[in-house]
Amino acid sequence: MFKLRTNSGRPVHPDVPQVTDLFLKGEIDRRAFLRTVTLLGVSASSAFAVTGATPAGAQETPKKGGALRYGSAVMEINDPMMITWTQPSNVLRNVVEYLTRVDEDNMTLPSLAASWDPSADLTTWKFKLQPNVKWSNGDAFTTEDVAFNIRRWIAPESKSSNKSAFSAVKDVEIVNDLEFTLHLSRPTLAIPEMLFAYTCPILHRKFVEQGGVWTKNPIGTGPYSLVEFAVGQKATLRRRDGYWGKAPHLDEIRFIDLGTDVSASIQALASNQVDLVPAINTTDIDVVKRLPNVTLLSGRAAQTICIRMQGTQKPFDDIRVRKAMVLASDNQKMLELGYRGLGVVAENHHVAPFHPEYFKLPPLKRDVAQAKALLAEAGYKDGLDVALTLGNTQGRWEQDTAQIMQQQVAEAGIRMRLDVKPASEFWPIWDKVPFGLTFWAHRPLAVMTLDLAYRAGGSWNESRYASAEFDAALNKATGIVDPKARSQAMESVERILQDAAVMVQPYWADRFGAMSNKVRGFRLHPATYNNLTGAWLA
Amino acid sequence: MARFLLARLGEVFGVMLSVSFLIYLVLEHNAADVAVKVIGQYSTEAQRALWLSENGYDAPFVQRYFAWLWRFVRGEWGSSTHYREFVAVLLPQYLSRTAILAGTAFGIIVPLAFTFGIAAGVREGSIADRVISFIAVGTTSIPEFASAVFLSAIFVFWLGILPGASMMTSGFEWPQLVLPVMVIVLYDFGYVARMVRAAMAEVMAQPYIRTALMKGASPARIVFRHALRNALVAPITVIMLQIPWLISGVLVTEVFFAYKGFGTLLYQACLNSDVALIEACAMTSVFVIVTTQLISDLLYTTLNPRIRFGIRKGEA
């Protein structure tokens, strides 16, 4: 009765019927079903038909034309695979494209790749590209471009975070101009989703040859071209002719840098100088709510702060010290006081309750007496002095939260000093300080972060955590298709990480933005991978 | 006079030279640090070593300093690591925006401060004096970051008649200048007005004013012919000192309104450890300070005939 089709027209992956069955029996929810089958290459429209829902469509007929003014920092973009902030990717995303696209509901949809078919064991992925795609310089877009990019990410000398994200990728095999195959060393379900990570835009095969500075030579396959770019000031994109896909509505997108003071963004919005400010602080919510003609945007996102300890450094090399720190902290209180309760409490293992693979462990309990006992055992009877380094990279709430923790751990005799640095001074050392507070952006799947941050030798492994047991458990979980079985496999992953007391991870912070009522067809993306192709101005 | 000018120019030169040395010492004494800041944290040890030797950082410190100074004097100011642009291109662009902002503010502050200062100082203790002094002290004691918030609350959020951000991305727009100018004027005019008032009140108490009064001169004639020129002498120094303050002291206002001027440039340069840009900004500030002081000294001599620089006793 239900017909699930793949985008490629090939037969569906052998696990698809079972996942569909689980959904129809009510054992997994609609979201988990849609996300899983689309990752396996099933077309979104046929998957929606199974759920009985239709994709949310626009009620009004979009108006063509106009320029959208987008308030955001304009940062330098040299090599797109090396960017470390999502703001540059929002400029890039409209000019260069990704192989896949993950939408605002975390569903993976085709983009430059028209279809993908994983093998039954998830280690061989056959991709087919969109035909007739041309680069803005007239060259044809082929698998050669794709192979150039992926090989550059995983090359031994690569410094991109993509290198550890795609550590399972052994090789890219070019089948013909439009087909290529990824060979993996271990089963990985999330491959299509990972290809939309902000550091993965597909660049022209001659990118390195032609200087390796993207803004100097901004060739792309996307619907816009970069016409103006000044760091710290503005970036202007203009719609170009000859785009292969559905033409977007806006003629121009103007990124306007409003400086580091967020109040300027709100003021600019209030006086109609910008149309969209995709990121605002929780402290500005009340002001935005009171503004006429402005809509508050909000969304649940798996973004968080990790107050992590390096197990290779004194005094954190003693697990009793780390455990004491965790036991003395109260995550719920930090959420309430540090972020006005606008989020979900976290459990020190970097998997969110709203991640599809989440497994519910028994709730954490604060125990100051035990924390004290552990400290005494570790030889700190008279208390312990530590310094936490932080950079308020996302705003003052990072420091607010740290201050609450400071008071909490003081009860256990831990004297925590806060070493607050400007964001730009913090970034060069974020993964080097023994004790630091780091902001982690949203990833649609928890395993993507776990791969980067907690696998032994992961490129963003800031806690220097290394455990063969954890890596093995993680390998097992990443290869399971069935969301239910996958979540069960995550139990040991979460437990191992939580028991290792690597970090205090207080909460998952909701995201907030604001836009003028004139803007239609725009939704906040949980990872700030904002998509403007559907946006228009009324 | 020529001798005086030469001596002063020599002093200016000396100040700039010693400040330049201090700036270089603070920012570039550790060559390894500079390499990290310029080519980035992801650079390898070998890349840094190569960069250091290519850019002459192997030489001893003093030699490096003079090489840098020579390049700086010839206008080779290097390029900004944050803005990815030559400093020599960036600086005039941002400085001219601040010149517009500061110039407009200055053009309002001076007449306003003189009107109020004279009105208050003519009759010390009068009601006009009390009211003006109250306003002047009041506005001066509100810091810019507070008045910026108050004024935006009124004009942007409540009345909605002024633009709240002044980034001027699509060319120059006068309305965007109003709020930042208002903030600066509000903060600064009271101080200058108080200076004018004090000088005026002092002059008005002089015997020659009383003489003029008894001779039956009109109040207007007394104020404008007899008092004003003498009362100008002290405030002129104060006013000249406002210029360097306006160039770099507007930082708070510029950042608040996202105005892309010299203050923002300096702020971003410091936040991002942008060595070449900090050096150029600091040298520009020093240059502005010493030249305004020089001008203020010259004005002082013309206004006050009792002061003749460079002339020793007995020579006159």
Question: Which pLDDT score, from 0 to 100, does residue B245 have?
Answer: 85
Closest-CA residue to B231 (of B165, B303, B301) = B303
Q: How many contacts (CB atoms, under 8 Å) link A and B?
A: 89
Q: Do A266 and B42 touch (CB under 8 A)?
A: no
- In which residue are the tokens 């979201």 written? A31
Q: Which pair of tokens denotes residue A506?
A: 């207080």
State the Cα–Cα distance between residues A359 and A364, nearest whole angstrom.
Answer: 14
Residues 91-120, chain B: which have Cβ within 8 Å of A?
A: none
Are the C-beta atoms of A481 and A13 separated by less than 8 Å? yes
Q: Which of B167, B251, B267 to mutate to test the interface with A (most CBs of A within 10 A)?
A: B167
Report the 10 Å Cβ neighbour count for A356. 23
How far CA A98 is from CA of A83, A101, A109, B131, B140, in Å, comes to 15, 7, 11, 66, 55
Task: State the SS3 of A438-485.
Answer: EEECCCCCHHHHHHHHCCCCCCCCCCCCCCHHHHHHHHHHHCCCCHHH
Q: Do A427 and B255 touch (CB under 8 A)?
A: no
Q: Do A424 and B273 touch (CB under 8 A)?
A: yes
Give per-residue burial for B160-199: e unless 16+ CB within 10 Å, then b. Answer: eebbbbbbbbeeeeeebbbbbbbbbbbbbbbbbbbbbbbb
Q: Which residues of chain A does B163 touch, with a Cβ-Cβ cutoff of 8 Å?
A: 267-268, 271-273
Helix (H) or strand (E) holding A268: helix A262-270
Closest-CA residue of chain B to A431: B41
Closest-CA residue of chain B to A261: B256
Question: Which pLDDT score, from 0 to 100, does residue A189 have?
Answer: 87
Residue B291: HSE in the Cβ half-sphere, 13 Å Cα cutoff: 9
Q: Do A264 and B273 touch (CB under 8 A)?
A: no
Question: Which pLDDT score, from 0 to 100, does residue B314 have?
Answer: 47
- Of A82, A232, A274, nearest to B82 by CB-CB distance is A232
Helices (H), A291-443: 319-328, 331-338, 368-377, 397-410, 423-426
- Of B84, B164, B273, nearest to A268 by CB-CB distance is B164
State the Cα–Cα distance between residues B231 and B209, nearest whole angstrom.
Answer: 12
State the Cα–Cα distance between residues B133 and A490, nearest whole angstrom.
Answer: 71
Helix (H) or strand (E) holding B150: helix B144-152
Rg value, chain A, Cα: 23
Q: Which residues of chain A does B42 touch, with a Cβ-Cβ cutoff of 8 Å?
A: 82, 159
Closest-CA residue to B181 (of B99, B239, B87, B240) = B99
How far CA A455 is from CA of A162, A164, B249, in Å, comes to 14, 9, 49
Closest-CA residue to A418 (of A386, A446, A464) = A386
| Phi and psi at residue A280, to the nearest 5° | -130, 165
* Residue B41 near chain A (CB below 8 Å): yes
State the Cα–Cα distance between residues A79 and B73, nearest whole angstrom.
Answer: 34
Closest-CA residue of chain A to B37: A428
Q: Do A159 and B42 touch (CB under 8 A)?
A: yes
Amino acid at A497: L
* Residue B9 near chain A (CB below 8 Å): no
Closest-CA residue of chain B to A259: B258
Amino acid at B213: L
Q: Do A232 and B255 touch (CB under 8 A)?
A: no
Are the C-beta atoms of B180 and B144 separated by less than 8 Å? no
Please report the sign of the dihedral spanned by the C-alpha atoms of residue B136, residue B142, residue B144, residue B149: negative
Closest-CA residue to B166 (of B186, B183, B146, B187) = B183
Q: Do B41 and A428 touch (CB under 8 A)?
A: yes
Measured in angstroms, the CA of A491 and the nearest CA of chain B are apart by 36
Altogether, the residues listed in chain A come to a count of 538
Q: Do A268 and B157 touch (CB under 8 A)?
A: no
Closest-CA residue to A320 (of A365, A387, A377, A367) = A377
State the Cα–Cα distance between residues A393 and A376, nearest whole angstrom.
Answer: 35
Measured in angstroms, the CA of B170 and the nearest CA of chain A are apart by 10
Question: Which pLDDT score, from 0 to 100, does residue A131 have?
Answer: 92
Closest-CA residue of chain A to B163: A271
Tell me the sheet residues that pair with A229: A235
Predicted confidence (pLDDT) per residue in B246-278, tens digit: 887 788 999 899 898 999 999 988 887 788 899
Q: Which residues of chain B does A76 touch, with a Cβ-Cβ cutoff of 8 Å?
A: 82-84
Chain A residues at the B interface, defined by Cβ less than 8 Å, are 76, 82, 159, 230-234, 254, 256-261, 263-268, 270-274, 287, 290-291, 422-425, 427-428
Mean of all residue pLDDT scores within chain B: 85
Question: Which pLDDT score, from 0 to 100, does residue A2 have?
Answer: 60
Q: Do A231 and B85 touch (CB under 8 A)?
A: yes
Are the C-beta atoms of A95 and A225 separated by less than 8 Å? yes
Question: Which pLDDT score, from 0 to 100, does residue B169 have?
Answer: 76
Q: Do A257 and B160 touch (CB under 8 A)?
A: no
Report the 10 Å Cβ neighbour count for A411. 14
Please report the sign of the dihedral spanned by the C-alpha atoms of residue B288, residue B291, residue B297, residue B300: negative
Q: Do B273 and A425 touch (CB under 8 A)?
A: yes
| Phi and psi at residue A374, to the nearest 5° | -65, -40
pTM for the whole thing?
0.82
Question: Which pLDDT score, from 0 to 100, does residue A321 have?
Answer: 95
Q: Which residues of chain A does B162 touch, with a Cβ-Cβ cutoff of 8 Å?
A: 271
Question: Which pLDDT score, from 0 to 100, does residue B43 have?
Answer: 64
Closest-CA residue to A521 (of A222, A221, A276, A198) = A276
Q: Which residues of chain A does B36 touch, with a Cβ-Cβ cutoff of 8 Å?
A: 428
* Residue B164 near chain A (CB below 8 Å): yes
Average pLDDT of adjacent 10-residue blocks, chain A of 538 residues: 78 88 86 88 86 65 90 89 87 95 89 93 93 93 95 88 86 93 91 92 94 91 94 92 91 90 84 90 87 89 94 92 95 94 94 90 93 93 93 89 96 94 79 92 86 86 93 89 88 95 95 92 88 89
Measured in angstroms, the CA of B254 and the nearest CA of chain A are apart by 10
Measured in angstroms, the CA of A82 and the nearest CA of chain B are apart by 10
- Of A76, A254, A264, nearest to B165 by CB-CB distance is A264
* Residue B157 near chain A (CB below 8 Å): yes
Closest-CA residue to A495 (of A359, A334, A315) = A359
Question: Which pLDDT score, from 0 to 100, does residue A57 have?
Answer: 56
Predicted confidence (pLDDT) per residue in B93-102, tens digit: 899 999 999 9
The ipTM value here is 0.73
Amino acid at A321: V
Q: Which pair of tokens denotes residue A121?
A: 């064991």
Question: Which pLDDT score, from 0 to 100, does residue B308 have?
Answer: 60
Please give the torsion angle defined by the CA atoms of residues A89, A92, A93 and A97, in that order, rounded to the nearest 10 degrees. Answer: -120
State the Cα–Cα distance between residues A329 and A341, nearest whole angstrom.
Answer: 16
How far CA A487 is from CA of A478, A493, B166, in Å, comes to 10, 10, 51
* Residue B44 near chain A (CB below 8 Å): no
Residues 59-88, chain B: which have Cβ within 8 Å of A?
A: 82-85
Rg value, chain B, Cα: 24
State the Cα–Cα distance between residues A371 and A340, nearest whole angstrom.
Answer: 27
Q: Do B255 and A259 touch (CB under 8 A)?
A: yes
Q: Which residues of chain A does B150 touch, with a Cβ-Cβ cutoff of 8 Å?
A: none
Measured in angstroms, the CA of B161 and the nearest CA of chain A are apart by 8
Q: Which residues of chain B does A287 touch, with a Cβ-Cβ cutoff of 8 Å?
A: 157
Helix (H) or strand (E) holding B211: helix B207-214
Q: Do B156 and A267 touch (CB under 8 A)?
A: yes
Residue B141: HSE in the Cβ half-sphere, 13 Å Cα cutoff: 6
Tell me the sheet residues that pair with A127: A116, A180
Predicted confidence (pLDDT) per residue in B72-82, tens digit: 888 888 888 88
Closest-CA residue to A496 (of A517, A533, A466) = A466
Average pLDDT of adjacent 10-residue blocks, chain B of 316 residues: 82 89 87 75 72 82 89 87 86 91 93 91 89 92 91 89 84 88 93 91 88 85 83 83 83 90 90 87 90 84 67 47
Measured in angstroms, the CA of A298 and the nearest CA of chain B are apart by 22
Helix axes B31-39, B45-54, angle to 10 degrees: 110
* Residue B149 near chain A (CB below 8 Å): yes
Q: Do A268 and B160 touch (CB under 8 A)?
A: no
Q: Do A424 and B258 touch (CB under 8 A)?
A: no
Question: Which pLDDT score, from 0 to 100, does residue B108 have?
Answer: 95
State the Cα–Cα distance between residues A117 and A10, nearest whole angstrom.
Answer: 8
- 10 Å CB burial of residue B17 (0-12, 13-18, 19+) is exposed
Measured in angstroms, the CA of A258 and the nearest CA of chain B are apart by 5
Measured in angstroms, the CA of B275 and the nearest CA of chain A are apart by 14
Peptide bond into A422 cis (omega under 30): no
Amino acid at A160: S
Could you please report the per-residue DSSP string of A126-174? EEEEPTT-B-TTSPBP-HHHHHHHHHHHHSTT--STHHHHTTTEEEEEE
Closest-CA residue to A153 (of A102, A218, A201, A225) = A201
Q: Do B258 and A257 touch (CB under 8 A)?
A: yes
- Of B83, B149, B152, nearest to A231 by CB-CB distance is B83
Q: Which pair of tokens denotes residue B200?
A: 């005026």
Helix axes A397-410, A319-328, angle to 10 degrees: 110
Q: Which residues of chain A does B266 touch, with a Cβ-Cβ cutoff of 8 Å?
A: none
Q: Which of B43, B84, B90, B255 to mutate to test the interface with A (most CBs of A within 10 A)?
A: B84
Which residues 6+ apart lie within 8 Å of A148 measured at CB? A203, A205, A207
Measured in angstroms, the CA of B186 and the nearest CA of chain A are apart by 20
